[in-house]
């Protein structure tokens, strides 16, 4: 994706991004690191890593809590070239940035500082934040007009120029009336970045090294400082699960809008939940109350009917599924496949035109083109220790309520009778029946009913006698 302002700097290199992700997030009340809590199926840290890379970061460094293998794994998955830097002590944001000094030494690339718990910042905004550096600014800060600025650092200006950012604890009463608030993110021009960071002190109420003090240092040197505006909603930092819910709603609104503008119809958009990586083709229709987890790709002209849940699934053109369909774990539906109500597919490929219209489970399976799977059919793929595969040939017909005990192969054009339990391969064009022999006894149903009614009446009479005797 091409982003205005992204890419290479004046020295021919891209910028360096340092992402601060070492916070414990105690207000989340969770054993999971805060930055690994998910929005739209992707961790907050993942959203930041993806966005800064899309914005043109050539080098990426992430500052983490020591010993967090789970955070390191997420970084390796979404930003394989990123360096990871532990921060043993928490002495402020400038101290955190300098924990990644090894990634900054020897480079005059511009520096962009991002936060792993500020997941709504877009790649376009990161690019806008860096843009003033190429116009001569030494520092650029992201700021918003807060409806209620309490708790935020204030961006202080004089004659239209930035002179400082003041943390609320250190602000005067007059400074606290300022609504222009610091979003936390900052970009520093490469030739000045390390010099400014290294001179930040801790003469403040918290005795911490504030990244924001780089502004006052730059102003004192006569260097230009720019303010880049951003909407307050985009600058939201997530500190608890209430804010996580707000962020989820914001991301879902973005994803729904992008889906609609991209050619998909969402019948009731507010009820559809998309994944951050969901891909929707043209003329896709999504009915109400559908959920898309990670790894879903939908081809052109597909219909996803109400109350369906998809995760790690690929649908090719013209697929029609639902209502109440569940796709997971490597489900692949080729062109024209139809799945009806209450069908679950897992690690299975259904080739073009195959159908399973209702009440079916197909796991660890391959279903040939044009095959028909009857209601109530299941592939018995797990023996308690290992998974086994079922292969159903092209044009095969599986009757209702059939159980296919894997590993087993049903040949092309074969027919499996309703109610069969199939444990052996069925050759192509063969008919397989595997059910107990039916026995019919004339009048036996009437006799059985009379016997059961008499027994019930006898029990009721006995209870009545016992009740009368106890009185």
Q: What is the set of active-site residues? A: 358
**Separation in Å, CA 365 to CA 86, 149, 324, 392:** 45, 57, 20, 8
Please report which helix (H) or strand (E) contains residue 409, including its range. strand 408-410
Q: Which one, of 405, 330, 417, lies nearest residue 374 by Cα?
A: 417
β-bridge partners, 60:
17
Nearest-angstrom CA–CA distance, 303 and 296: 14
Nearest-angstrom CA–CA distance, 183 and 347: 44
Nearest-angstrom CA–CA distance, 368 and 396: 8
Distance, CA of 136 to chain centre: 38
Q: Which one, of 285, 294, 362, lies nearest residue 318 by Cα?
A: 285
Which DSSP letter does residue 52 get?
A: H
**Separation in Å, CA 392 to CA 334, 413, 429:** 15, 9, 12
Phi, psi (degrees; rounded to nearest 5) at 316: -85, 180
Cβ 346 vs Cβ 366: under 8 Å: no
Residue with tokens 């309490």: 150
Please report which helix (H) or strand (E) contains residue 104, including its range. helix 101-104
β-bridge partners, 43:
38
Name 65's Cβ contacts closer than 8 Å, sequence gap at least 6: 22, 23, 24, 33, 71, 86, 87
Burial class (CB in 10 A: 0-12, 13-18, 19+), 404: buried
Nearest-angstrom CA–CA distance, 232 and 420: 62
């Amino acid at each position: 994706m091409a982003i205005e302002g992204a890419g290479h700097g004046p020295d021919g290199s891209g910028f360096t991004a340092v992402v601060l992700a070492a916070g414990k997030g105690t207000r989340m009340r969770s054993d999971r690191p805060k930055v690994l809590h998910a929005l739209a199926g992707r961790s907050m840290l993942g959203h930041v890593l993806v966005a800064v890379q899309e914005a043109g970061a050539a080098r990426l460094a992430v500052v983490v809590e020591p010993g967090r293998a789970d955070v390191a794994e997420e970084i390796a998955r979404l930003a394989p070239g990123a360096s990871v830097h532990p921060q043993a002590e928490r002495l402020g944001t400038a101290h955190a940035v300098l924990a990644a000094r090894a990634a900054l030494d020897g480079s005059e690339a511009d520096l962009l500082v991002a936060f792993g718990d500020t997941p709504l910042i877009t790649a376009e905004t990161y690019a806008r934040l860096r843009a003033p550096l190429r116009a001569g600014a030494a520092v650029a800060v992201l700021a918003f007009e807060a409806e209620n600025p309490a708790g935020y650092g204030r961006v202080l200006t004089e004659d239209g120029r930035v002179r400082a950012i003041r943390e609320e604890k250190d602000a005067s009463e007059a400074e606290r009336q300022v609504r222009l608030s610091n979003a936390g993110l900052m970009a520093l021009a490469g030739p000045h970045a390390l010099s400014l960071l290294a001179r930040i002190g801790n003469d403040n109420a918290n005795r911490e090294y504030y990244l924001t003090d780089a502004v006052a240092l730059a102003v004192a040197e006569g260097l230009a400082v720019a303010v880049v505006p951003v909407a307050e909603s985009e600058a939201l930092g997530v500190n608890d699960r209430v804010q996580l819910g707000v962020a989820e709603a914001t991301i879902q609104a973005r994803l729904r809008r992008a889906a609609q503008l991209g050619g998909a119809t969402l019948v009731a958009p507010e009820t559809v939940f998309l994944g951050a990586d969901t891909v929707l083709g043209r003329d896709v229709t999504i009915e109400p109350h559908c959920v898309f987890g990670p790894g879903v790709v939908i081809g052109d002209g597909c219909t996803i009917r109400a109350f369906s849940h998809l995760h790690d699934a690929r649908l090719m053109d013209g697929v029609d599924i639902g209502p109440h369909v569940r796709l997971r774990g490597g489900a692949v539906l080729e062109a024209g496949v139809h799945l009806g109500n209450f069908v679950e597919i897992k690690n299975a490929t259904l080739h073009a035109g195959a159908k399973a219209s209702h009440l079916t489970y197909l796991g660890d399976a391959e279903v040939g083109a044009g095959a028909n799977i009857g209601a109530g059919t299941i592939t018995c793929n797990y023996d308690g220790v290992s998974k086994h595969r079922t292969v159903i040939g092209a044009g095969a017909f599986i009757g209702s309520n059939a159980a296919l005990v894997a590993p087993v192969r049903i040949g092309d054009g074969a027919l499996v009778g309703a109610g069969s339990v199939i444990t052996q391969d069925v050759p192509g064009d063969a008919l397989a029946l595997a059910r107990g022999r039916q026995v019919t006894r004339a009048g036996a149903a009437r006799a059985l009913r009379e016997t059961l009614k008499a027994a019930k009446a006898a029990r009721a009479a006995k209870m009545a006698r016992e009740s009368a005797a106890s009185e």
